[in-house]
Structure 1
């Protein structure tokens, strides 16, 4: 009862605060109101340490969405993690995770951003290794070390900002953009954002982080850890607009979107498919942000958080009922056994594909139409629309394998929809996944965009989605033919399915080789010449001298006489021989 009360109390507190913050965000948005709080912690002589907080419509709305999702995830965990004896510790870790995200969201100050940023990195490591097995430890180490690159970039940006005499970056953005030297800070912030949001070449940690419990995956991949990088770059959007850095981020975001879409079509692990879809959407956010449409990126960030959390929670319910089985080839016909969960899953999938009037449609359709309207090169245009087709392709493939056909697993099973606690958590997000897009669309864009396109460009989005769905269905339906073909072209399939070899490069590049070099350095210096000529040599010399001194201090006349006689004998022999 104590564990259940902690879950319920956390859920109610977070949900209530989320509700208040949402209405405050709406009020701030409509009245164009910002509160900037400065709180002096320590003042010594002329130096002062000041804690600054920024409350505007963006931070308040984002906080309300993070708290809403985390409250429902904690409520969902009451049943999902019911068999865990340490559920209190789990809830505390999740709350620490959410608190770190809150600190990052409301900070216009680089120092407090670093506190939230490192808090996210540390707690995410603890959550990834939660199940305490070799796979979890490896995934946790990869996650932690990948994120450390971004942490170092952030520390370098903080040290560079000493030039300004303050770490409140929000005052210096215009100056940073116009000053050539200070673009270094922009580059460091972009590197930090790329590592946290798993852009190429730091993408491999994101699917690896699936080793965490599913409620954590729902929270991490929707609104907290992976979106921190996007949110930071939204705050620094002035540095990206119309600059070389922005063009670089556009290319990286587009390639990430494309790579993740291809990888998801060749993956069979249920959670990894959804993780790769998150990576694809992060690439979409990054690329539209680097084109200068930061409000659109933020809009997609919020709508994506809703349906992605729902998608993970539904996947968690299926895995929980399947006895922790995650392979989609062993599923099939789940809609017959779990109709309510399957309905939620399909709604979330359709929202991800951009089905009209669901949450994803309002942001994705607007992004693609803005891309069609913008002055953009053919390569990026292809990446945007081809990746959208791939999204529908892997979503339909996922539904085909898991929901339709015959059940491919154990004959004796307990598949049912009787997990009412999990279902209540999912139904809360189902409502938001349906109405959230239109609600945010009216709030963030009260004046409609005038987008005037030719008919073929207007219908291109629908055509690409339809074509992607058909190809996904055909490939899934031709299982034997498709598997034979993929085996014949095994090298290409392996390359595309393993995220362009990034996990291997990351593992060897960040863990294996550095540790090998470190070992070599230790053997050569610390435990080699340095030890032989340094500490060990000194030890030997001191031991010999102290032994000699000890003999001399024994005050034994017989010993001294013996030594004297030995020396005289030695000298006489030497003289005779010479």
Structure 2
């Protein structure tokens, strides 16, 4: 039996059921809590809590729908006839289960369970190919996400003084420093500006994993955490909004000078995550959640189409060899460009509704001209790097091997891509009608209303012109942008600085380590060696030890 097909049907049916349930909960304005008592310590009671309301159910239905498409896609991409196919399938299912646990948790300890599951299973998936590059990328991914665990663990210890860990009930404590720890944790998972290094590095994973990680699971975990567990009134924060804006501009610049196909899409994910974070800290909680759902659809489609290119072009990921894809893979190229247009926010596609709401609502926020200009500039840069992909897939002539056989076949990979492209087009408008996002009327002058359209088309024009430019700038400028502004080097410098700074204060800890953990481990090793030597000897030693014990007790 094809296990991939079974899990595809199961997750797909379950996602439809969750979507129906989410609409029912929204219609009745219902919220259910399921509690299971795990532990009682005096007045501190730990319940394992699951929350079911329209937000958690809708997000879970989107996660399960994308997961079902990724699994049926993986059956051909990874090969269900190989020996490692079951290992890959079970890892992906563990990853999905961890995300579902995190989505349904209002409790910090159960959030940590899902959060740790996401981090550890993503490490196993990134190092799946077991090359040197994938091992290094997996280590960067794991260690950066462990930084987020530190914030959640400290928050768990801190919240003992509140009498429980149900974070959803403690919105009136948000003036406490716990809020900064949880925001720091969400920044590491969502790869905001100081922690952005791991996101392009995670591209060493197989393409179906990248589609799942970068659309609806690991990178959106931090955004979802902030969306659910903070009240609207206390989320206005200009500094964190500027961090989101910097992430948008920095990732868009890096994407314009990148030639690896999956890295370009990873930087576009980083740009959209910056937009979501910025809209959260400007107070647009519902708009950010709406963009989170629509972005998950077209971003997973973008990755799945790029996987078909890589699959048919003999594992090649360089976009300079991708020219003329529309000749050999016309249907895949059509779906690929539809998802690119959704990413740009082209009118009446899925991304247009959510991005346009955030842009127009942010004009009412009252920020200054610099913020206003940078916001629209980052929107134009999104269209600029998206048009690079359109140019290299449609306009440019064929640049791959002259003798090859690339053709569109209607198989499992094609089925999932066509299905996802249909939903990428209609999902934004469909969801807009269902969850009543258009109940607020915003009136603009004419020039402000068309400014977002002008920035989109200006970005397209600049992207086209960039492809015709020769090297205008110094080579170090291109090196700077293609190396993520040397952010990884800055982070290692900071780690060395803090290590050297705290070293003189931690010398006293070395004695404690010698007499506790390391010393106990040394004596346990010696004792186990003695026991092994003792048990491997003849029966005379057992008889003598029996007599000695008998004499001792007498």
Uncovered stretches (5+) of structure 1, i.e. residues with no partner: 536-578
Whether the 8 Å contact between 1:334 and 1:404 is mirrored in structure 2 is no
Counterpart check, 1:101 vs 2:86? no
Q: Does 1:324 align with 2:321?
A: no
Aligned equivalent of 1:274: 265
Distance 2:365 2:510 in 1: 58
Between the aligned partners of 1:524 and 1:189, the Cα distance in structure 2 is 31
Matches of 2:423 and 2:363, distance apart in 1: 28
Q: Could you tell me which residue of structure 1 aligns to residue 537 of structure 2?
A: none
In 2, the alpha carbon distance for the partners of 1:290 and 1:30 equals 28
1:128-527 → structure 2 map (5 Å cutoff)? 128-173=126-171, 175-177=172-174, 180=175, 182=176, 184-238=177-231, 241=234, 243=236, 246-418=237-409, 420-445=411-436, 447-478=438-469, 481=470, 484-486=471-473, 489-507=474-492, 509=494
- Does the Cα contact within 8 Å between 1:205 and 1:503 map onto a contact in 2? no
Asked whether 1:41 is paired with 2:26, we answer: no
Q: How far apart are residue 310 of structure 1 and its match?
A: 0.2
Native 8 Å contact 1:237 1:289 kept in 2:
no
Secondary structure of 2:267's match? helix
Larger Rg: 1
Given the alignment, which residue of 11, 15, 19 partners 1:18? 15
Separation (CA, whole Å) in 2 of partners of 1:455 and 1:49? 56
**Bigger Cα displacement from structure 2, 405-414 vs 70-79:** 405-414
Q: CA deviation at 1:447?
A: 4.8
Report if the CA contact (8 A) 1:358-1:435 is conserved.
yes
Q: Which residue of 2 aligns with 1:548?
A: none
Cα distance in 2 between the residues matched to 1:522 and 1:200 = 30
Check whether the contact 1:142–1:507 (CA below 8 A) recurs between aligned residues: no
Deviation at 1:442, TM superposition (A): 1.1
Is this contact kept in 2: 1:25–1:56, CA < 8 A?
yes
The aligned residue for residue 546 of structure 1 is: none
1:349-385 Cα offsets, whole Å, 9 max, x none, are 1110111111101101111111122212222222221
Deviation at 1:84, TM superposition (A): 4.3
CA distance in 1, matches of 2:96, 2:317: 27
Q: How far does residue 405 in structure 1 lie from its aligned partner after superposition?
A: 2.3
1:431 Cα shift? 1.2
How far, CA to CA, are the matches of 2:109 and 2:3 in structure 1? 32
Distance 1:63 1:106 in 2: 8
User: Equivalents in 1 of 2:500, 2:393: separation in Å?
Assistant: 43
Specify the SS of the correspondent of 1:81.
helix
Q: Distance in 2 between matches of 1:356 and 1:375?
A: 25
Give 1:89's match in structure 2, choosing from 71, 87, 90.
87
Distance in 1 of aligned mates of 2:106 and 2:478: 45
SS at match of 1:267: coil
TM-score, length of structure 1 as denominator length: 0.85
**SS of corresponding position for 2:50:** strand
Alignment of 1:104-119 (within 5 A): 104-119=102-117
1:192-239 CA distance string (max 9 Å, x none): 010000001100100000000000000000000000000001123327
Distance 1:417 1:233 in 2: 42
Query: Which one of the candidate residues 63, 67, 72 is aligned to 2:64?
Result: 67
Q: Deviations over 1:83-103 (max 9, x none)?
A: 743011101000000100001
SS of the counterpart of 2:406?
coil
Residues 1:8 and 2:5 are matched in the alignment: yes
Alpha-carbon deviation of 1:402?
2.7
Q: How far off its partner does 1:163 sit?
A: 1.4
Mark the runs of 5 or more structure 2 residues left unpaired by the alignment. 520-554
> In 1, Cα distance between the equivalents of 2:497 and 2:74?
39
Q: Is the 8 A contact 1:349 1:395 kept in 2?
A: yes
Give, in whole Å, the separation in 1 of the partners of 2:142 and 2:383. 32
Conserved 8 A contact 2:144-2:188: yes
Q: Compute the RMSD of aligned alpha carbons.
A: 2.6
